[in-house]
Chains A and B, each alone.
Chain A
Amino acid sequence: MSRIGVFVCHCGENISRTVDVEQVARAAGKISGVAYACDYKYMCSDPGQNLLKKAVSEHKLDGVVVAACSPRMHEKTFRKAASAAGLNPYLCDMANIREHCSWVHEDKKLATSKASDIVKLMVERVKKGKSLAPITVPVTKRALVIGGGIAGIQAALDIADAGHQVVLVEREPSIGGHMAQLSETFPTLDCSQCIMTPKMVDVANHPNITLHTFSEVEKVEGYIGNFQVTLKHKARSVNESKCTGCGICMTKCPKKKIPNEFDQGHGLRTAIYVPFPQAVPNTPVIDRENCTMFQSGKCGVCAKVCGPGAVDYQQEDRFSVEAVGAVVVATGFKLYSIDRKPEDSPIQGYGEFGYGAIPDVIDGMTFERLASASGPTGGKILRPSDGKEPKQVVFIQCVGSRAREKGISYCSKVCCMYTAKHTMLYHHKVHDGQAYVFFMDARTPGKGYDEFWRRAVEEEEAVYIRGMVSRLYQKGEKIVVMGSDIQVGVQVEIEADLVVLATAVQAQDGADQLAQKLGISYDKYNFYSEAHAKLKPVECATAGIYLAGACQGPKDIPDTVSQASAAAAKVMTLFSKDQLERDPVVAKVNEKYCVGCLACKKVCPYGAVEEKEIRDRQGNLVKVVAYVNPGVCGGCGTCQATCPSKSVELDGYTDEQIMAMIESL
């Protein structure tokens, strides 16, 4: 005979306003097997927990049901209390009479009767419950960081400085990401490269960091503490260990007119190249699509001039497997393509803005390159079509962002600030120029941010026009910008020399594929989802994988760096123990009855189900059964519901327990 204790919480008035808690406690006391039942104003408080502990020992309880809020909120609290009183914590369960009852009902009588039913269910479940012991798994104290922008760099440096090994993977030939492309940063207008390049060097020189550029994550297996990650090292066509970075290959390469991606296509590069002079590593890579040697087999100049003989046309993609315990995803963002609607995309284009058709309509990142000392114009603001200095520049905000009808409803967060910065950079370099900004509203929350924006408007003479632009068209050398000023209520037409579009921040290309490899979730815009917006902002729902930077949503540099350090701290917390304790609510397979249909494997969202071969003593294969890896299992129970032979059971939610719950009603 069980001796269950039931503790009904008032939750202040959250529950007792709609549920007669005393009656629920009285009804619980009458359930067979319940040895003690009471109600209390705040069960989660110290006296409330003490009440539970005292009752366990006084009434020799062998199971506890706390009828209160959601288990998400306080299951841990009460399990800890039960454990302190000498009970197995998995024999303490919660009946959710707040979110599932008092908050969603108005009729007190009906709500009370429903609350009693919920309690009854949970009592039956606990009666059939078993003591469970936490699962322990070993931890590989080595982290993988995916993405070599400022987020990945910061996370890698923090983890490495704490004494752990870090593998940093970047798919481009150099680390640095978007921040390396920026000219100056808000709100301090300090030079982006001056902050970024030393950090890039630190990463390259750090004894605890292994840097793989021009590499991608191919496959991810395993679980928290024990991931096996296959990396693909794309063929660079240059032997990294031999190359000294002298650069003679680039000066001699006959293909010199390839648009430079780092300069947003406005500068030129050679076929063998480093993305920018401060690249880390300073090892060139051959762009095979544009290289004469690869296209026609006739050239080979770079190999001839290379002293150390580092150029290797035969090089092939190489794969390696890294064992790591934690993964930090820091894959960043890309800018919205404002051209016509891209194929297969739910996002509409902005054909009316003439991007791609009018050469002097550029995006914000291109303006950054024009303003950057290392950019294609050496930091002079010159327009792309004819290299003239633009005297009237129109900036258009919210291009793509906050435009539900075009397919993106979110705010890209950084554009208000960077456009304000652009107007300042422009004013500093072209004193007689005039900057206009079409904006919907200025969103500048952040330390020193609003002050910065005000400075752009009040001191640096940018003319802000509240209203949107309907279209642009070329008129001779000018671009006519047709818009409206909704504050004055007039149509505005400006003849501009240059138009800069603050385009939306979007998830990086291939973000969804990487998420599928990692088994993490992402939203409809392909931004990665955190486990909880407020309480677990850097964790993924998949244990052992953490997020940093704009791969989670639009973020500026300070936010990105903060989150990267937070992700690093989470990794260090994970690495602080040799063994990891995991929730024992996992599925188990009864190998005797399992027929090996592996229906469970198909439905498992965590990829926790593996095939297991059962062999006799002679080593002959008897049968194949399903095996649930407890380290990976998320305890969702989908396998249990799917199994046609009822051979899978979730500890804590066995068929017997579920049936007992149903029968109690």
Chain B
Amino acid sequence: MTPGKKRLNYSYYPGCSLHASGREYDISTRALFKALNVGLKEVPDWFCCGATPAHNVDELLSLSLCAKNLSLAEQVEGDLAVACAACFSRLKTTQHHLKEDEEKRKQVETAIAGPAALDKPVKHILEILAREFGLSKLEESVKKPLLGLKVASYYGCLLTRPPEVPELDDCEDPSIMEDILRALGAEPVKWSHRMECCGANFTLSRPGVVLKLSNAILESARLAGADCIMVACPLCHGNLDIRQKEIKDAYGAPDSTLFGNIFGSELQQGAPKDQRDLPVFYITQLAALAMGVPSGNLGFESVITDPKPLLREKQLL
């Protein structure tokens, strides 16, 4: 901290995943912010934002859920920090929609019996780390640089799209994750599937779709020489981490096409398929590790694809 400068303080909306399947994201986020001496105070009595299913069922419901959470967040000082990409997207989308649609805003405000807190700044932790805390300060705070760790940073669908809503980075060619990785001393790889969808909430209803899409992402990361993948979304983490074995079973054979090729062009055949396991890290896990947080406090034990062998190999454990 620069002397005399006010300490950064945020209100914090973890979202359901971070209290359940993505606990390690929550744990590591709190650990990281503590290590950086950035305040994080959980919004009292928050509840589910509706995530990806609610807006498919009832728009008013999904907007009202977020609006209510935003008004709860008003009780805590500081901009609202959100770690889950889906929560972030829904909260920002709600603000965006309600600002543009007066009538809907009135409906929502009736439903939640109060104002919708449209001006509460909602920030994804990527923004907080790269822009508000700052890359150079982040770099200075590193105690254990992630040297030699080749990371494929995975943005997924929601962090940058649609561009007018999250306003996080260039929607087609973002760089915020790579910038953070470089500050942490890691080596971001250039790869093709940074922005492809992993299948997200089809994970229960259409697992076949998820396997296909996630396979393409993993394969592309391996092709680019990545040791691991970094995500900022518990849905992406779920699909890429938990399903690696299933994917291997389904797509283990030498490559065929993904979508099929209607013109029958010759594809590269015969190359043995790379089946390495790719640990999937949350941004906060890697960052906290670099800040010297003990690895036992980062939830590494609760993921499926064990990251420890890789971290040991890179002498980060």
Q: Which A residues form the contact surface with B (CB < 8 A)?
A: 340-341, 349-352, 357, 392, 434, 436, 463, 471, 473-476, 478, 480, 482, 485, 488, 490-495
Contact = CB atoms under 8 A, between A and B. Distances in A.
A473 B259 contact: no
Chain B interface size, as a band, is 10 to 19
B173 A485 contact: no
B192 A493 contact: no
B264 to A, nearest CB: 10
17 contacts: A340-B173, A351-B170, A352-B173, A436-B263, A473-B192, A475-B192, A476-B268, A478-B268, A488-B262, A491-B259, A492-B259, A492-B261, A493-B258, A493-B259, A493-B260, A494-B265, A495-B267
A357 B173 CA distance: 11
B75 interface: no
Contacts of A349: 172-173
B220 interface: yes
Contact of B263 (A473, A475, A480, A494): A494
A351 B268 contact: no
Contact of B261 (A434, A463, A471, A493): A493
B261 A352 contact: no
B265 A351 contact: no
A351 B190 CA distance: 14
Chain A contact residues: over half helix, strand or loop, or mixed?
strand
Contacts of A493: 257-261
A495 B265 contact: yes
A207 B259 CA distance: 65
A475 B261 CA distance: 15
Contacts of A357: 190
B193 interface: yes
B260 to A, nearest CB: 8
B226 to A, nearest CB: 14
Contact of A352 (B172, B258, B260, B267): B172
B317 interface: no
A495 B190 CA distance: 19
Nearest to B191: A473
Interface string B16-60: 000000000000000000000000000000000000000000000
A341 B170 contact: yes
A109 B25 CA distance: 76
By CB atoms of chain A within 10 A, which of B173, B190, B268 has the most?
B173
Contact of B172 (A350, A475, A491): A350
Given A340-B173, A463-B263, A478-B268, A473 B193 contact: yes
Contacts of A476: 223, 268
Interface in B84-126: none
A494 B261 contact: yes
Contacts of B262: 485, 488, 490, 492
Nearest to B173: A351
A488 B259 CA distance: 14
B127 to A, nearest CB: 19
Contacts of B192: 473-475, 480
Contacts of B193: 473
A560 B192 CA distance: 41
Contacts of A495: 261, 265, 267-268
Interface string B169-201: 010110000000000000000101101000000
A392 B268 contact: no
Contacts of B263: 434, 436, 463, 492, 494
Interface in B207-266: 220, 223, 257-263, 265
Given A480-B192, A490-B262, A492-B262, A475 B170 contact: no
Contacts of B223: 475-476
B191 to A, nearest CB: 8
A351 B172 contact: yes
Contacts of B172: 349-352, 471
Contacts of B170: 340-341, 351
CB-CB nearest 7 A-B residue pairs: A351-B173, A473-B192, A352-B172, A351-B172, A493-B259, A491-B259, A495-B265
Nearest to A476: B268
A357 B259 CA distance: 25
Nearest to A357: B190
Interface in B272-317: none
Contacts of B220: 473, 475
A357 B263 CA distance: 27
A392 B265 contact: yes
Contacts of B258: 493
B188 to A, nearest CB: 14
Contacts of B265: 392, 434, 494-495
A476 B195 CA distance: 19
A241 to B, nearest CB: 51
A554 to B, nearest CB: 25
A64 to B, nearest CB: 56
Contacts of B261: 492-495
A632 B10 CA distance: 64
A349 B173 CA distance: 9
A341 B261 CA distance: 32
Nearest to A473: B192
Contacts of A352: 172-173, 195
Given A473-B220, A494-B263, 19 more contacts: A340-B173, A350-B172, A434-B263, A436-B263, A463-B263, A475-B223, A476-B223, A478-B268, A480-B192, A482-B259, A488-B262, A490-B262, A492-B259, A492-B262, A493-B258, A493-B259, A494-B261, A495-B265, A495-B268
Contacts of A485: 262
Contacts of B259: 482, 491-493
By CB atoms of chain A within 10 A, which of B170, B172, B260 has the most?
B172
B192 to A, nearest CB: 3
B159 to A, nearest CB: 15
A352 B268 CA distance: 23
Nearest to A340: B173
A79 B258 CA distance: 75
Nearest to A478: B268
B168 to A, nearest CB: 15
A351 B195 CA distance: 12
A494 B262 CA distance: 9
Nearest to A490: B262
A341 B173 CA distance: 10
